[in-house]
Amino acid sequence: MYLTPEEEKLFNGERGATYQKAIEILTALGDIYGADRLIPIKSAQIAGVSYKTIGDAGLEWISDLKGKVAVPSILNPAGMDRECWREMGISEEFARKQEEIIRAYEALGVRTECSCTPYYIFDNLAGYGDHVAWSESSAISYANSVIGARTNREGGPGALAAALIGKTANYGFHLDENRKPVVLIEVEAKLHDSDYGALGYIVGEMVGDRVPLFKLKSKPSKDELKSLGAAMAASGAVALYHVTGVTPEAGKYETPAEKITIEERQIRDVYTTGEPDLIAFGCPHSSVSELERLAQLFNGKKVKKEVWVCTSRALKNKHPELIRRIEKSGAKVFCDTCMVVSPASERFACMMVNSGKAHKYVPNLCGGVRSIMATTEACVEAAVR
Ligand code: F3S
């Protein structure tokens, strides 16, 4: 892999051990995946924030790094709401460690908004054709597919290394040839809202890490595309998809020869029933329009069960009246975290979600909590019943 004279200096440790370690990570990835060089990135989104997932070893690794990120960089959700962690049932010990992790990132110049939807917070992180290094799977999918930016599925250390150097290795989804669809998904049903998460839940398992092109009978909103991509990234490893007539790169490519047809019955089969003791919305973090919809659905009602709505702190702070309308029902709006990455959900037996991604992850990552997938309306009904 070619390195510029300036990159060689970093590689030889002339700017210290942190930058040397960072460029070693990038060149090692580049060598494995056949990159020719490093390319500049516009932003980084760094996973590996929750103390639940990285533990003391992760905290130690980040704390040992000395330097500053070279591009705007933002964190993935942490293991707790940084203000309301007691209300979530988080222990003092966990909260202390979690704050240490966030402060260690902050010392490196990383912004401490903890969200998997950074594109709702900052306009300038990624635009069409921009190279970025993002590492939360739903954010990666959104950046590649909906925005038309270019990122690989970076691991937490890879994204942090890219943030420190301001570059990433030129391979995978940074290259035109890897962005073309290889399988056509024809959906014979009109979809709405959480149906897109259900569709992603099915299709991710079928296509693995390949690039699908969807032909749909309905036109998805950006929130619905977010749900579709998040679910496919969880049940499979889809980092990029196209939707004919909707996503920005779909028209650039020929229709793939391989075709999978999805029938309405398959979508319906993803939905399940049961008695939840926690109902959680906001995977990925809720947008303003999703919060508005919840405020309308909960209007004049009182929840009878524990209800969480996850969003970013930036949106919560910007829309206090909207948050107040949701909280009036007794639902709790949590920021900086989510129902999957926080250990707080592990004290419940059964979680109802309207997200294909959460439905996939909850049973595996939340200490045995069962999951029920339902429409947004059914989740609200279950909450107030
Ligand atoms: Fe975001 Fe947590 Fe879902 S990080 S995509 S809300 S699992």
pLDDT tens for 68-127 read 999 999 999 999 999 999 999 999 999 999 999 999 999 999 999 999 999 999 988 999
pLDDT of residue 335: 98
Is the domain of 157 the same as that of 22? yes
Ligand 1 centroid vs 228 CA: distance in angstroms? 13
What atom in ligand 1 is closest to the CA of residue 282? 6
- Total residues found in the chain within this entry: 385
What atom in ligand 1 is closest to the CA of residue 285? 6
pLDDT of residue 382: 98
Q: Rounded to a whole number, what is the largest CA-CA distance in the chain?
A: 66
Average pLDDT over residues 201-206: 98
Q: How many domains does the chain have?
A: 3
Pocket test for ligand 1, best of 46, 53, 227, 283 (most atoms within 8 A of CB): 283
Amino acid at 311: T
State the Cα–Cα distance between residues 155 and 60, nearest whole angstrom.
Answer: 17
Q: How does the average pLDDT of the chain come out, rounded? A: 97
Q: What is the sign of the dihedral through the CA atoms of 139, 144, 149 and 152?
A: positive
Q: How confident is the model at residue 296 (pLDDT cuts 50, 70, 90)?
A: very high
Ligand 1 centroid vs 291 CA: distance in angstroms? 16
Is the domain of 19 the same as that of 167? yes
The residue out of 253, 270, 287 marking a domain boundary is 270
Residue with CA closest to ligand 1 atom 2: 338
Is the domain of 150 the same as that of 204? no
Percent of the chain with pLDDT over 70: 100
- In the chain, count of helices (H) and strands (E)? 15, 15
What atom in ligand 1 is closest to the CA of residue 361? 7
Lookup: tokens for 343: 């250990």
Is the domain of 162 the same as that of 219? no
Is the domain of 87 the same as that of 9? yes
The residue out of 238, 270, 302 marking a domain boundary is 270
**CATH code for the domain of 52:** 3.30.499.10
Ligand 1 centroid vs 311 CA: distance in angstroms? 10
Q: Which protein residues are within 6 Å of ligand 1, measured from CB?
A: 77, 116, 136, 138, 230, 283-285, 310, 338, 340-341, 357-358, 361
Lookup: tokens for 62: 């980040």
> Is the pLDDT score of 360 beyond 90?
yes
DSSP 77: P
Ligand 1 centroid vs 146 CA: distance in angstroms? 17
The residue out of 270, 303, 318 marking a domain boundary is 270
Q: Helix, strand, coil: what percent of the chain each, to 5?
A: 45, 15, 40
Is the domain of 139 the same as that of 10? yes
Domain that holds residue 50: 5-176
Is the domain of 20 the same as that of 66? yes
Is the domain of 193 the same as that of 317? no
Is the domain of 163 the same as that of 57? yes
What atom in ligand 1 is closest to the CA of residue 116? 1
**CATH code for the domain of 211:** 3.40.1060.10
Cα dist. 234→98, 99, 214, 229, 368 in Å? 24, 27, 18, 9, 17
Bridge partner residues of 333 (DSSP):
309
pLDDT tens for 125-176 read 999 999 999 999 999 999 999 999 999 999 999 999 999 999 999 999 999 9
Residue with CA closest to ligand 1 atom 5: 284
pLDDT tens for 247-278 read 999 999 999 999 999 999 999 999 999 999 99
Ligand 1 centroid vs 362 CA: distance in angstroms? 10
Is the domain of 26 the same as that of 141? yes
Task: Evaluate whether 94 touches 80 at the Cβ level (below 8 Å).
Answer: yes
Ligand 1 centroid vs 340 CA: distance in angstroms? 6
Cα dist. 91→63, 80, 84 in Å? 22, 10, 12
pLDDT of residue 123: 87
Pocket test for ligand 1, best of 142, 338, 365, 373 (most atoms within 8 A of CB): 338
Is the domain of 121 the same as that of 202? no
What atom in ligand 1 is closest to the CA of residue 139? 5
How, if at all, do strands 44-46 and 38-40 pair? unpaired
pLDDT of residue 23: 98
What atom in ligand 1 is closest to the CA of residue 77? 4
Is the domain of 149 the same as that of 134? yes
Q: Can you give the pTM of this predicted structure?
A: 0.97
User: Which are the contacts of 132, defined by CB distance < 8 A and separation ≥ 6?
Assistant: 41, 42, 43, 44, 45, 125, 126, 143, 149, 150, 151
